[in-house]
């Protein structure tokens, strides 16, 4: 039987920036050899959490255990096995070769440097001819791939990727995704990835962690619906989607109009018509851990949500990506933040 080993254990973590609390996590366990996805709106604390997980910064309060050892007692060499690719990574004002080889030179590991740099570049889909290019001669996508190659060459035990595909073209994004999976396959690297691409996270991650205003809201399949809200004549809040459809949230008269609603996938019903249902288009269907349960992702007026549905129903109703379905959201289960 496979036993899952906890790699990180975070306890009572609080982190402050200029006296403002930006992270507040009571407990979080992250497993080894898994891909964990982090999502949440901008400013939810993802980058701060990644900075703590990579030991780039220390939390203001709380304990981080890595392989059971307190981070304060970790040796520098152990920390060097944890590598982070920040959002908008910085390339040194040097050649591509120097950038990719930089991490190895920090570790005095300079055997077969040319070959290893060449291999790392190949892994991210860049040709050997890129080696001599200067940092200023790269496009945004190429620079991102060079930065990733500089991390992959280190064969890290933990690779933390903060929105690795944001701001790059589709081709670069695809190459980056492939390179990440190759790292997982080849070196059994534990991966932490943050992204706004829920579809990608759903498909790739073993586990998802949602963050909101510095707190863990729930791990798993949750949906967030953001402001703006409109007021109905009876005072309830209404979400008006871009396509013009409206969804009334019951018992929301006392809620603020800049609130955010959190709804679990279990509280959204597909293929169910009601007085408060809306039309949605299925974008993807994939298998969850549970054998017969599928996670269906769908779009309502540009907003992506997901719900769980049994495989039998999907087959029976012949639901496919592109199919239009009626969606009923149990608004009484909405959690207002």
Partner 1 sequence: MNLFTDGFNEAIQLLVSGNDSVYSAIAVTITVSSWSLFISLIIGLPLGFLLGYYNFPGKTVVRTIVDTLLALPTVVIGLIAYTMLSRSGVFGEFGLLFTQKSIIIGQVVLGLPIIIALTATQVEAVDKRLYLSLKGLGANSRQILLSTLIEARFGLMTAAMTAYGRIVTEIGISMMVGGNIKYHTRTVTTAIALETGKGEFITGIALGLVLFCVALMVNIALSMLKRKWTQ
Point out which residues bind partner 1 (CB under 8 A): 51, 54, 56, 76, 79-80, 83-86, 88-90, 92-93, 102-103, 106-107, 134, 136, 147, 150-151, 154, 160
**Spatial distance between the Cα atoms of 281 and 299, rounded to a whole number of angstroms:** 5
The helix or strand, by DSSP H or E, that contains position 304, with its residue range, turns out to be: strand 303-310
How many residues are recorded in the chain?
337
Q: What angle do CA 275, 278, 279 make, to 5 degrees?
A: 135
> Nearest approach, Cβ of 182 to partner 1 (angstroms)?
20
Residue 129 or 254: the one with the smaller Cβ distance to partner 1 is 129
**Spatial distance between the Cα atoms of 193 and 166, rounded to a whole number of angstroms:** 12
> Nearest approach, Cβ of 84 to partner 1 (angstroms)?
4
Residue 99 or 331: the one with the smaller Cβ distance to partner 1 is 99
Residue 47 or 221: the one with the smaller Cβ distance to partner 1 is 47
Residue 16 or 241: the one with the smaller Cβ distance to partner 1 is 16
**Is residue 231 a contact partner of residue 237, using CB atoms and an 8 Å limit?**
yes
**Is residue 225 a contact partner of residue 257, using CB atoms and an 8 Å limit?**
no
> Nearest approach, Cβ of 85 to partner 1 (angstroms)?
7
Residue 103 or 264: the one with the smaller Cβ distance to partner 1 is 103
- Per-residue CA distances from 102 to 54, 81, 105, 133, 140 (Å): 18, 15, 5, 15, 20
Residue 83 or 222: the one with the smaller Cβ distance to partner 1 is 83
- Measure the N-to-C terminal CA separation of the chain; round to a whole number of Å: 40
> Nearest approach, Cβ of 77 to partner 1 (angstroms)?
9
* Beta carbons within 8 Å of 72's beta carbon, 6+ residues apart: none
DSSP string, 117-150: HHHHHHHTT--GGGGG-BGGG--HHHHHHHHHHH
- The 8-class DSSP code of residue 332 comes to G
> Nearest approach, Cβ of 332 to partner 1 (angstroms)?
44
> Nearest approach, Cβ of 164 to partner 1 (angstroms)?
13
Q: How many other β-carbons are positioned within 10 Å of the β-carbon of residue 59? A: 21
> Nearest approach, Cβ of 151 to partner 1 (angstroms)?
7
Residue 80 or 219: the one with the smaller Cβ distance to partner 1 is 80
Residue 139 or 251: the one with the smaller Cβ distance to partner 1 is 139
90-99 core/surface letters (b: 16 or more CB in 10 A; e: else): ebeeebbbbb
> Nearest approach, Cβ of 240 to partner 1 (angstroms)?
39
């Amino acid at each position: 039987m496979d036993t899952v080993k906890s790699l990180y254990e975070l306890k009572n973590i609080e982190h402050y920036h200029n006296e403002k609390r930006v992270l507040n996590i009571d407990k979080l366990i992250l497993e080894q050899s898994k891909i964990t996805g982090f999502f949440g709106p901008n400013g939810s604390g993802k980058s701060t959490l990644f900075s703590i997980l990579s030991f780039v910064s220390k939390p203001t309060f709380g304990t981080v255990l890595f392989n059971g050892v307190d981070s304060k007692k970790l040796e520098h060499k152990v920390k060097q096995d944890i590598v982070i690719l920040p959002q908008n990574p910085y390339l040194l004002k040097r050649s591509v070769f120097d950038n990719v080889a930089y991490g190895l030179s920090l570790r005095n590991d300079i055997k077969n440097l040319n070959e290893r740099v060449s291999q790392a570049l190949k892994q991210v889909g860049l040709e050997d001819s890129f080696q001599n290019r200067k940092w200023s001669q790269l496009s945004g996508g190429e620079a991102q791939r060079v930065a990733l190659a500089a991390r992959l060459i280190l064969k890290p035990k933990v690779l933390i990727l903060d929105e690795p595909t944001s701001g790059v073209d589709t081709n670069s994004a695809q190459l980056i995704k492939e390179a990440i999976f190759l790292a997982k396959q080849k070196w059994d690297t534990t991966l932490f990835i943050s992204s706004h691409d829920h579809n990608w996270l759903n498909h790739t991650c073993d586990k998802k962690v949602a963050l909101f205003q510095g707190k863990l809201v729930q791990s798993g399949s949750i949906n967030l619906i953001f402001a703006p809200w409109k007021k109905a004549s009876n005072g309830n809040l209404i979400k008006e989607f871009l396509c013009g459809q409206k969804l009334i949230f019951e018992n929301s008269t006392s809620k603020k109009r800049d609130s955010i609603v959190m709804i679990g996938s279990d509280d959204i019903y597909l293929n169910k018509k009601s007085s408060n249902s809306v039309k949605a288009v299925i974008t993807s269907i994939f298998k969850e851990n549970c054998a017969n349960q599928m996670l269906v992702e769908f779009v309502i007026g540009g907003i992506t949500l997901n719900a769980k549905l049994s495989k039998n129903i999907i087959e029976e109703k012949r639901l496919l990506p592109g199919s239009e379905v009626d969606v009923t959201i149990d608004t009484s289960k909405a959690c207002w933040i």
